[in-house]
Structure 1
Amino acid sequence: MTFAALVDRIVRLSAREPGVVVVGIVGAPGAGKTTLAEQLISLLNEGERAPERQQYAHVPMDGFHLSDQELTRLGLLERKGAPETFDAHGYAALLRRLREARGPVVYAPGFERTIEQPIAGVVPVYSSVRTVLTEGNYLLLDQPGWRDVRAQCTEVWYCEQEEGLRIRRLIERHSAFGKTPAEAREWVERVDEPNARLIEATRGRADLIIPAFD
């Protein structure tokens, strides 16, 4: 599987499907979903620098993390990153809105890793956009809210990665954003890996299985 083949698949989907196409990229934490989505968007929008004329946009799931304040109220702060710590219904509603007729721009939320918090209104999706790439952990999860997310996706691709490399990346990521190596390793074992097993169980529902790209 090459980038060129993935780009061609997206282009063909966009030409075949009426309205706005939504391609989801799912995979375990550290599988390389964000890197893949960003590189695909860069290739797809190549030659068109004006954001308001680009036809492809990246809208990540991470903007729908619940805030630490709300997670604390719910008693879920120590499970941050698990399915119940996201606003799945809000995520589905945004994807639905992007597929419908809309005004000049829709603003989606993003996620700032330096403070580990969602930030409203940082991802503009202009009316020129005809294909949205969205990536996250739970797009194929058969649970309330997440089923609605899947229903808004034209296709969902499952992104795989070698286990050792994936876990090393996670530990490095957590360490880079404030945890000690020991804390990072403990978080990966206690939170990320149970989530990874849950995500891996959804692999069979994907439309396409692809390797992660570095």
Structure 2
Amino acid sequence: MEARVATVADLVERARALAARPERAILGIAGAPGAGKSVLSRALLDALGPDAVLVGMDGFHLADAELARLGRADRKGAPDTFDVAGYVALLRRIRAADEVVYAPEFDRSLEAAIAGSVRVDPDVPLVITEGNYLLLNESGWQAVRPELAEVWFVEPPEERRKQWLVARHERYGRDPDAARAWALGTDQRNAELVLATADRADDRFQIEDRSVDAAQ
């Protein structure tokens, strides 16, 4: 399955259909670092209003102190730098939909996850979760996919994705050389792992809207 071109309006209508199901649905949005997952997620939230809430995989980043203890600080963002078991447990609680669930959120300005930041009410019909490794089939990540109703894979042209990623690192404080080194080093190794999972998605697409491009 090749990536196709889609507009945000197309994807909003698909998300509305998921929200209209009799039971709560969890929609996964996957893709490599810098692909536009967060931008698309925010667009869906803006369109669906109270019918959707976002719970990101990045809320399960291990703390920097723990990464340092494990010797993994220089590759933050790799699959083994997350609490995948905690993420899966949260998805299962959310699917039960019989109580309020509080989820963590990753604060890029702090480079840390903040517990209890996202409230998921039991009557919200669509929960969106986005992250790199939703389709990874190893190291505990294989337990994620069964919790998701659908997974969409965002796949822009590689050169544009890398440009967006470097720009994002610069926005959050890295100087241009450091931003490029991280994007084309640690991030690129993770990206290659993520891109190899794209065929497991329900759909793959590039987002046509220029507004999404600009937001990167």
Q: Which amino acid aligns with 2:28?
A: G
| Secondary structure of the corresponding residue to residue 110 of structure 2 | coil
Q: Where does residue 41 of structure 1 map in the other structure?
A: 45
Q: Out of 155, 161, 164, which is 1:160 matched to?
A: 155
Which deviates the most, 173-182 or 66-75? 173-182
Q: Out of 30, 36, 39, which is 1:32 matched to?
A: 36
Q: How many residues align?
A: 204
* Whole-Å separation in 1 of the counterparts to 2:87 and 2:39: 20
Q: Out of 53, 57, 73, which is 1:77 matched to?
A: 73
Query: Given the two structures, how large is their TM-score scaled by the length of structure 1?
Result: 0.91
Q: Where does residue 3 of structure 2 map in the other structure?
A: none
- CA shift, 1:20, in A, is 1.4
Long gaps (5+) in structure 1: 46-53
- CA shift, 1:89, in A, is 1.1
Q: Where does residue 85 of structure 2 map in the other structure?
A: 89
* Whole-Å separation in 2 of the counterparts to 1:80 and 1:196: 13
Q: Once superposed, what is the RMSD of the aligned Cα atoms?
A: 1.3
Query: What aligned pairs does 1:121-140 form with structure 2 within 5 A after superposition?
Result: 121-140=116-135
Q: Which amino acid aligns with 1:87?
A: D
Long gaps (5+) in structure 2: 1-5
Q: Where does residue 14 of structure 2 map in the other structure?
A: 9
- CA shift, 1:10, in A, is 2.0
- CA shift, 1:15, in A, is 3.0
* Aligned-pair identity (%): 50
Which deviates the most, 71-80 or 125-134? 125-134
Give CA deviations for 1:152-201 in whole Å, capped at 9, x if unaligned. 10110000112222111211221222222111111112201111111110
Contact 2:24 2:97 in 1 (8 A): no
Following TM superposition, the consecutive aligned residue runs of length 4 or more in structure 1 with deviations greater than 4 angstroms are none
Q: Which amino acid aligns with 2:157?
A: E
Give CA deviations for 1:70-110 in whole Å, capped at 9, x if unaligned. 1011100001011110111111111110010432x211000
- CA shift, 1:119, in A, is 0.7
